[in-house]
Amino acid sequence: MATALTGENVQETWSALVQDVRTAVLLTLRNGRPFGSHVPYVFGSDWTRAYLHLSRLALHTQHLLADPRMSLFIAEPDGPEKNPLALRRINLQGEAAILSPDAPSYREIREHYLARFPQAEMMFGFGDFALWELRLEDAHFVLGFGQAFVSSSTTPARWIHQKVERPSALKA
């Protein structure tokens, strides 16, 4: 049985995961069905805001322009020595919007993005690229067996252990 984690431990583990893993799967809606794309990202001060630099030519951007609902999925890389069912992973849901270059936070977010992805600097000069702000409302964070936590944007630093009720036929 895994050791119970405190909210502070969960917060530290979340921070380590998103620091180590630089790309995520962005899930958008295409004809009412999930569509996944691999994207680099940066977070704001907590998990409730993430930022992507996307081309208007990409399918996922077209999907967001039609329907801003999205999910961002980040997972620890697999490896031969790891149990793939116990990998750390987080699923975040919310809506996306283009961040205007006139927004007060634009310059700071652009610098933060370029600090993590300096090779993207040239693309900031391309007219079809824009910074997108993901306004995330819900988080589901799995740290391994029996260690799943949920959080809400109203209390982003509060992680609540997800308890799963077993059907009565399965209870011992």
pLDDT 10s digits, 105-149: 999 999 999 999 999 999 999 999 999 999 999 999 999 888 899
Alpha-carbon distance 147 to 80, whole Å? 22
Q: Looking at residue 159, what DSSP letter applies?
A: E
In this prediction the pTM is: 0.90
Do residues 64 and 96 make contact, with C-beta atoms less than 8 angstroms apart?
A: yes
Percent of the chain beyond pLDDT 90?
81
**For residue 165, what pLDDT is reported?**
61
Question: Which pair of structure tokens corresponds to residue 55?
Answer: 């081309």
pLDDT tens digit sequence for 56-109:
999 999 999 999 999 999 999 999 999 999 999 999 999 999 999 999 999 999
Percent of the chain beyond pLDDT 70?
91
Reported as a pLDDT band with limits 50, 70 and 90, residue 13 is: very high
Burial grade of 163 (CB within 10 A; 0-12, 13-18, 19 or more)? exposed
Alpha-carbon distance 93 to 153, whole Å? 10
**For residue 8, what pLDDT is reported?**
78
Do residues 40 and 23 make contact, with C-beta atoms less than 8 angstroms apart?
A: yes
| Other CB atoms within 10 Å distance of the CB of residue 14 | 24
Q: Which fold has domain 7-161?
A: Pnp Oxidase; Chain A (2.30.110)
Tell me the chain's radius of gyration from C-alpha atoms. 17
**For residue 148, what pLDDT is reported?**
92
Annotated domain spans of the chain: 7-161
Q: Which spans in the chain are helix H?
A: 7-20, 59-66, 106-116
Unique residue bearing structure tokens 């936070």: 105
**For residue 91, what pLDDT is reported?**
98
The residues pairing with 37 across neighbouring beta strands, listed in sequence order, are 26
Residue 16 has pLDDT above 70, yes or no: yes
**For residue 144, what pLDDT is reported?**
86
Alpha-carbon distance 54 to 101, whole Å? 14
Alpha-carbon distance 56 to 124, whole Å? 13
The whole-chain average pLDDT of the chain stands at: 92
